[in-house]
Chains A and B, each alone.
Chain A
Amino acid sequence: MSRLSLEALTLAQGGRTVLENISGTFEDGAITALVGANGAGKSTLIQAIMGLLSPLSGQVHCSMPKERRAWLPQQLALDLTFPMSVEELMLSGCWPTHGTFKRYGPQDYRRMHTIMQRLGLSGLAHRPLGELSGGQRQRALLGRTLMQEAELLLLDEPFANVDTHTVEILCDTLREMASAGATVIVVLHDMEQLAQLANCVLLLAGGHGQWVEPETLLERHHAPARRHAHAPFISLNLPDVPPCSTY
């Protein structure tokens, strides 16, 4: 079953067509890796799925309500000088149920503490965001999406500049969310993480998209993961590989 699909989607950014005629289905409970060189249109596609960018033509069919779609932006997009604590950030994930006015209740705090424990953030509730390490901050942001009970989760390079402990926690949590039925889409650069995490890959290159199995992609490039850890797709054209089963 699927609650998110793309139909002949063409997207433009600043008057320039970035992606053309992309179709396909994101399965519920699957983790899809979004892969492509810088400027291939990964963030543009995420914006369109979040409903923040109108397509030039085609459609995004998404039956999940807006408030259950969560986007974990790159950390650079956040203003970390703003005096907000981990607790306040995580509670802002209650937005769908609480909006602007409703008071946070004891059950919200209980839920928050459970999530913090799960993400290894216990004891940091009152720490300002600016004093956290990159990894702790990323976990706090994921905590917000858990508070939000997101059914669709889009992550833009979540593993950039974070420690291995955080990578493990993030991967485990994403798998748990997916097995609970959430649709997870994650922008990845690292082949090793792709092999561990993704059930399916949407490869973006030259303005086109192609769905492939992660194994096929890994075999095709004979990727010794560590050698290709950071920019494995820079010179990639669409490879001739069998399509992913979810297509």
Chain B
Amino acid sequence: MLDLLTTLDAWLVAPLTDYAFMRRALVGGLALSLAAPPLGVFLMLRGMSLVGDAMAHAVLPGVALGFVLAGFSLPAMSLGGLVAGLLVAGLAGSVSRMTGHREDSAMASFYLISLALGVMLVSLRGSSVDLTHVLFGSILAIDDTALWLIASVASATLLVMALIFRVLVVECLDPLFLRGQGIRGGLVHGVFLGLMVLNLTAGFQTLGTLMAVGLMMLPATTARFWSQRLEGLIGLAILIAMVSSTGGLLVSYHLGLPSGPCIILVAGIAYLASALCGHHGSLLARLRRRATPLETDENTCTP
């Protein structure tokens, strides 16, 4: 019994009590896990799951530019990422409204341009090690400034989401209802995309620009297998993100692997397990449904 406790302590607690960088990474990861998954739930429900991915790529040239101009400075790189992300979101939205083309095609075009620019900028200045760092993040680099940034972004995101929650829900179901009430859906959409860019920027330090979107989307898509209510989806997604962040960090510490991919892979395992045996729409749920006999519906079958 004592052996078991000692092993558990060595695996789960000691890394956090012994090393300050692990504590910082954990706090950062948990803060991101509070803010990003609700955004992911709405992205998923609006059929925009891949938009997060596109935006994560779009953030890259800004981060790279910050890196080229100011070296490895978190504020410069974050600011650059934020500006680039908002610029791509804004341009994609405007082009789509002006041309009548679908927003996803405009966004795909702009993020590809943006990504190419970013890779070129990084390769002009830095070595391949720098590029890996920007793409996949590093928990060692989380200092107090980074923590403050992540905590502020997470707080702001939760606050703004609470403010626009009802509008966002109604807009998802029936945008014309809101337009009829004189509310501009485009504005709500813009604020939402802005929050997404903010979170991706905050997440790139821990997870890297490309992995940051994973903590947003995977918990949301996993929760879909367990709940059919919006509140349930959001709550579960947050919980899954928190467990993945903690688990991923510990795995990364013990096995000496990069933190970003570890966190996302833990979330990925949760997704695959849920797809197999979740409550709604999973493989197991489908098999079970086939096995049960027809239920008599009292509303329709009363003699």
Contact = CB atoms under 8 A, between A and B. Distances in A.
Interface in A13-43: none
A71 B230 contact: no
A100 B162 CA distance: 10
B169 A88 contact: yes
Nearest to B169: A84
B177 A92 contact: yes
B167 interface: yes
A71 B181 CA distance: 10
A51 B174 CA distance: 17
Most buried by A among B164, B166, B172, B230: B166
Interface residues of B, number: 22
Nearest to A73: B176
A101 B166 CA distance: 8
Interface SS majority for chain B: helix
Interface string A77-105: 11101111100110010011000110000
A77 B167 contact: no
A96 B180 contact: no
A83 B108 CA distance: 28
Given A71-B180, A83-B45, A100 B166 contact: yes
Interface SS majority for chain A: mixed
Interface in B209-260: 228-230, 233
A92 B228 contact: no
B180 A70 contact: yes
Interface in A64-82: 66-67, 69-71, 73, 77-79, 81-82
B23 to A, nearest CB: 37
B178 to A, nearest CB: 8
Contacts, number: 63
Given A100-B163, A100-B164, A100-B166, A82 B173 contact: yes
A210 B133 CA distance: 69
Nearest to A99: B166
Nearest to A131: B228
A230 to B, nearest CB: 25
Interface in A121-158: 128-129, 144
B293 interface: no
Given A100-B163, A100-B164, A79 B181 contact: no
Contact of B174 (A50, A77, A101, A128): A77
B182 interface: yes
Nearest to A65: B182
Interface string A216-244: 00000000000000000000000000000
A211 to B, nearest CB: 25
Most buried by B among A51, A66, A69, A82: A82
B237 to A, nearest CB: 13
A126 B182 CA distance: 28
Nearest to A130: B228
A71 B170 contact: no
Given A100-B163, A128-B228, A83 B233 contact: yes
A10 B84 CA distance: 43
A52 interface: yes
Interface in B129-177: 163-167, 169-170, 172-174, 176-177
Contacts of B46: 79
A164 B180 CA distance: 29
B230 A83 contact: yes
B286 interface: no
Contacts of A83: 45, 228-230, 233
Contacts of B101: none
B176 to A, nearest CB: 5
Interface of B: 45-46, 163-167, 169-170, 172-174, 176-177, 179-182, 228-230, 233
30 contacts: A52-B176, A52-B179, A67-B181, A67-B182, A69-B180, A71-B177, A71-B180, A77-B174, A77-B176, A78-B174, A79-B45, A79-B46, A79-B172, A82-B45, A82-B172, A82-B173, A83-B230, A84-B173, A92-B169, A92-B170, A92-B173, A92-B177, A95-B177, A100-B163, A100-B165, A100-B166, A100-B167, A101-B163, A129-B173, A144-B177
Interface of A: 50-52, 66-67, 69-71, 73, 77-79, 81-85, 88-89, 92, 95-96, 100-101, 128-129, 144
Closest 6 CB pairs of A and B: A82-B173, A66-B182, A92-B170, A100-B166, A83-B230, A82-B172
Given A83-B230, A95-B170, A100-B165, 18 more contacts: A66-B180, A69-B180, A70-B180, A71-B176, A71-B177, A71-B180, A78-B174, A79-B45, A79-B46, A79-B174, A82-B45, A83-B229, A84-B173, A92-B166, A100-B163, A100-B167, A101-B163, A128-B228
